């Protein structure tokens, strides 16, 4: 029997949902200050996740984050160009966490002489029917990054453009409800519990949101390793089912072999939406845009990786690839 679900997405006014009390452990609101170990200056935008609480948040303009946690909970703190740190709340001295800045890696940029273009991981937007980072009661947000492993066949390859499929709530389907304009999108998801479900999404705002692109070298085991770009690549999504961004200014050179392109969500108020299920009236979950598309694949090749709230990269069990295509110049 088909199960009909209605989802209402609201702009979130808080990034934390209700956290159940754990027997024998006191849960409190905790403030953590994240600073540079050398300069002692706050690290604005540092990302903090707590696997035990399933929370993921971002340091404010003075380097602080508010968490709901127990003293024994571990948090994972990271920021691009810094060494990541995993630490328990009780071990954060005076509520402070210091990150050590990485030594900058020389880009070794040398202009690509050839004008030959190469696109990797092309996808067909018509085949993109499922999306990652869209939470539901059965699958809360389990990770903070997703990455697609790619292979560069050229001796040198400079990234120039990235294209990303996202879930779009079409303005043409807008309806008026209680004198407010909302956006609807009909979407059938055969992988949800209950079989082939029909869902109706209602969205209060346009799709504009900001996310971060990371480009990683592959290590010997085939997992994401160090960044291949020292700069933060922050992209503002367009109100389109395909986000296209120019990366030429970053002068990212990819050596021959495997590498990764990843999407990192930025958990701030501008990117958040609160999701309520009519079939689970007490369940409200926070999701962060954009909801990135995936395309089904055949065969045994595994190329889709996820980074969990403990900072560990894992191979995704899903037989899909991320709908992320990159274009560049080779020689």
Q: 286-301 pLDDT, tens per residue?
A: 778 888 999 998 888 8
Domain 116-170+207-330, CATH: 2.60.120
φ/ψ of 96, rounded to 5, equals -120, 145
Query: Which of 124-128, 149-153, 189-193 is least confident?
Result: 189-193
pLDDT at residue 122, as a whole number: 95
Residue 132, pLDDT > 90, answer no
pLDDT of residue 6: 29
pLDDT attached to residue 52: 87
Q: What is the pLDDT of residue 198?
A: 41
CATH 2.60.40.1120 range(s) for the chain read 27-99
The reply to whether the predicted model has a pTM over 0.75 is yes
Nearest partner of 283 among 137, 78, 126, 127, judged by Cα: 137
For the chain, what is the mean pLDDT? Answer: 78
Q: Where in the chain is the domain with CATH 2.60.120?
A: 116-170+207-330
* Residue 97 · residue 77 · CB < 8 Å: yes
Report CA-CA distances (Å) from 61 to 31, 33, 43, 66, 172: 14, 11, 8, 13, 37
Tens digits of residue pLDDT in 30-76: 999 999 999 999 999 999 999 888 888 999 999 999 998 998 999 99
Q: What's the pLDDT tens digit per position in 256-274?
A: 999 999 999 998 877 877 6
- pLDDT value for 299: 81
Q: How far apart are the first and last CA of the chain?
A: 56
What is the per-residue pLDDT for 146? 95
Q: Go through 283-316 and write b for each residue having 16 or more CB atoms within 10 A of its CB, e for each that does not.
A: bbbbbbbbbbbbbeeeeeeebbbbbebbbebeeb
Q: Residue 111 has what pLDDT?
A: 64
Give residue 315's pLDDT band: very low, low, confident or very high (50, 70, 90). Answer: very high
What dotted CATH number matches 27-99? 2.60.40.1120
Reported as a single tens digit per residue, the pLDDT across 190-223 is 333 333 444 444 444 445 689 999 999 999 999 9
Q: Are 175 and 184 in contact (CB under 8 A)?
A: yes
Rounded Cα distance between 30 and 7, Å, is: 31
Structure tokens at 275: 């999701």
**H or E segment to which residue 314 belongs:** strand 313-315
Query: What residues pair up with 284 in beta bridges, in sequence order?
Result: 276
For a pLDDT cut of 70, what percent of the chain falls above it? 70
Mean pLDDT of 224-229: 94
Which pair of structure tokens corresponds to residue 77? 């703190």
pLDDT band, very low/low/confident/very high, at 283 (cuts 50, 70, 90): low
Residue 325, strand partner residues: 163
């Amino acid at each position: 029997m088909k199960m009909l679900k209605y989802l209402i997405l609201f702009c979130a006014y808080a990034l934390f949902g209700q956290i159940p009390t754990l027997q024998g452990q006191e849960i409190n609101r905790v403030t953590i200050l994240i600073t540079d170990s050398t300069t002692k200056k706050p690290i604005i935008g540092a990302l903090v996740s707590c696997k035990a609480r399933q929370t993921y948040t971002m340091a404010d303009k003075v380097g602080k984050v508010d968490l709901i946690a127990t003293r024994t909970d571990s948090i994972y703190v990271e920021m691009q160009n810094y060494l990541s740190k995993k630490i328990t709340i009780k071990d954060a001295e005076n509520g402070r966490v210091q990150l050590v800045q990485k030594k900058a890696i020389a880009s070794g940029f040398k202009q690509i002489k050839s004008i030959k273009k190469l696109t990797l991981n092309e996808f067909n937007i018509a085949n993109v029917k499922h999306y990652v980072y869209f939470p539901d009661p059965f699958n809360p947000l389990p990770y903070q990054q997703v990455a697609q492993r790619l292979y560069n066949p050229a001796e040198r390859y400079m990234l120039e453009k990235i294209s990303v499929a996202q879930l779009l709530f079409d303005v043409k389907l807008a309806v008026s409800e209680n004198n407010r304009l909302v956006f609807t999108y009909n979407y059938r998801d055969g992988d949800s519990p209950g079989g082939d479900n029909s869902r109706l999404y209602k969205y209060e705002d346009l799709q504009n949101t900001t996310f971060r692109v990371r480009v990683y070298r592959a290590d010997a085991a085939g997992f994401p390793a160090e960044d291949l770009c020292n700069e933060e690549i922050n992209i503002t999504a367009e109100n389109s089912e395909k986000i296209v961004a120019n990366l030429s200014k970053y002068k990212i050179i990819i050596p021959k072999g495997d590498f990764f392109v990843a999407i990192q969500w930025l958990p701030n108020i501008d990117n958040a939406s609160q999701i309520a299920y009519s079939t689970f009236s007490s369940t409200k979950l926070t999701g962060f845009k954009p909801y990135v598309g995936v395309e089904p694949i055949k065969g045994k090749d595994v190329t889709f990786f996820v980074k969990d709230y403990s900072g560990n990269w894992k191979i995704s069990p899903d037989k899909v690839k991320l709908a992320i295509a990159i274009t560049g110049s080779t020689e």
